[in-house]
Amino acid sequence: MVRQHVNPLSRYHQLPRPLPSLEELFPDPTLPLHLDIGSARGRFLLALAPLRPERNHLGLEIRQPLVEAAEADRQAAALPNLRFLFANANVSLPGWLALLPPGRLALVSLQFPDPWFKTRHHKRRVLGPALLHALAGAMAPGSQLFLQSDVLALIEPMVALVEASGRFRRPASDPRPWRPTSPLPLPTERERHVEARGLPVFRVLFERDASPPPPLDALEGAAEAEAADATHNPG
């Protein structure tokens, strides 16, 4: 399975794109929301939404042709609790999250994001301080953040950043350092592909605690420290 990369720092993808409100997206905007960042072709959410009708599901994806194809399938399947949107998460999500009704965001999943292996490309990775700050501000105590990847060098700094925020905890019953299974009832396409090859998947589930959102400058400092450590200790 070949990853199709899009440079999120290109001028086109840095354009702010206002996202529709929950009232514009869903017939019942009061349902708890599952936000899947990097929903790709959408097949995971297309299968999940009918299984979890008690939630609204929103897939955000930076590759516009994939969004158009996923949204066409959603309309054909007549799934009212599912939508797909084209946007750069780091540009368009923070402002949208700030306008969400308190307690509405129940689950955020970030599954197999583009790894951007080269050091000079790490700034293109999706989960950075600003986005985590916005997520922490929108998530109520008890809401969940689920991360999974088949690239250890990608998920380790993501986990380090979330833990450095001091606003999320891991369920006491979850094995460390990684969960052996997903908390979601269905695998993604990438998840099936990786496991069929006998390769590991690294998974972590976080729960939002009751602390106020962390200062953004503290998160930026933690990210800079992590990047410096990775540079000096690449192994």
- In the block, tokens 């908390």 appear at 183
Specify whether domain 88-232 bears CATH 3.40.50.150. Answer: yes
Query: What does the pLDDT read at residue 8?
Result: 54
Which residue in the list 28, 36, 114, 174 is annotated as catalytic?
Answer: 114
User: Catalytic annotation on 28?
Assistant: no
Helix/strand/coil (H/E/C) assignment for every residue in 5-55: CCCCCCCHHHCCCCCCCHHHHCCCCCCCEEEEECCCCCHHHHHHHHHCCCC
- In the block, tokens 């953004």 appear at 216
CB 94, CB 134: distance < 8 Å: yes
Query: Which stretches of the chain score pLDDT less than 50?
Result: 2, 10, 12, 116-118, 120-122, 235
pTM: 0.87
Nearest to 219 by CA among 136, 121, 123, 156: 136
Query: What distance in Å separates the CA atoms of residue 157 and residue 180, rounded to the nearest whole number?
Result: 19
Query: What does the pLDDT read at residue 215?
Result: 85
Domain ranges of the chain: 88-232
SS3 category, 178: coil
Q: What are 167-226's pLDDT values in tens digits? A: 999 999 999 999 999 999 999 999 999 999 999 999 999 999 999 888 888 888 777 766
Query: What distance in Å separates the CA atoms of residue 52 and residue 34, rounded to the nearest whole number?
Result: 10
Nearest to 85 by CA among 110, 106, 113, 66: 66
Q: Which long-range contacts (CB under 8 A, 24 or more apart) does 219-226 make?
A: 219/129, 219/130, 219/132, 219/133, 219/161, 219/164, 219/165, 220/129, 222/129, 222/160, 222/161, 222/164, 222/165, 223/128, 223/129, 223/157, 223/161, 226/157, 226/160, 226/161, 226/164
